[in-house]
Amino acid sequence: MNKHKHILFIFFAFACIFITSCGKHTSMRVTPVAVDEPAKPGFTAGTVKSYALDGCTWMIFLENGTILQPSGLTPEFQQNELKVWIKYTVPKDAMSICMAGQPVNITAIEIRK
């Protein structure tokens, strides 16, 4: 019986990966950084957006189309369309009910000008 649970878990994990990687949210592209604003070394440019859909709350949209689901985004950064610089890590074995973005831990975040 234990073998069947293991196979079921692997099937569910692959199904989740397949479902989340199938489509791109092309209508939700982030506006590129202004030309006069230099890139901040070690940081990635993104835009915070309210995303009250599929169990999600605040998401960060990167310029390359990647959508991040940050854990522990502080209230000062919970502003729709807020431009930010972020550093983040992807936690091992992170699980979430949000089906729209990659769960991440923010290691540093700053407001862009």
**Mind listing the pLDDT tens digit for each residue in 21-30?**
555 444 444 4
Identify which of 104, 23, 91, 94 has the alpha carbon closest to the alpha carbon of residue 61.
104
> Is residue 37 pLDDT above 80, yes or no?
no
- Which alpha helices (H) appear in 1-113, and where do they start and end? 2-21
* Strand (E) or helix (H) holding 45: strand 44-50
**Residue 17: which pLDDT band, with cuts at 50, 70 and 90?**
low
Cα separations (Å) of 74 from 23, 37, 78, 82, 105? 29, 25, 7, 13, 12
Architecture of the domain spanning 27-111: Beta Barrel (2.40)
- Domain ranges across the chain: 27-111
Q: Note the pLDDT of residue 33.
A: 47
Cβ(31)–Cβ(43) below 8 Å: no
* Token pair listed for 66: 């990647």
- pTM metric for this prediction: 0.64
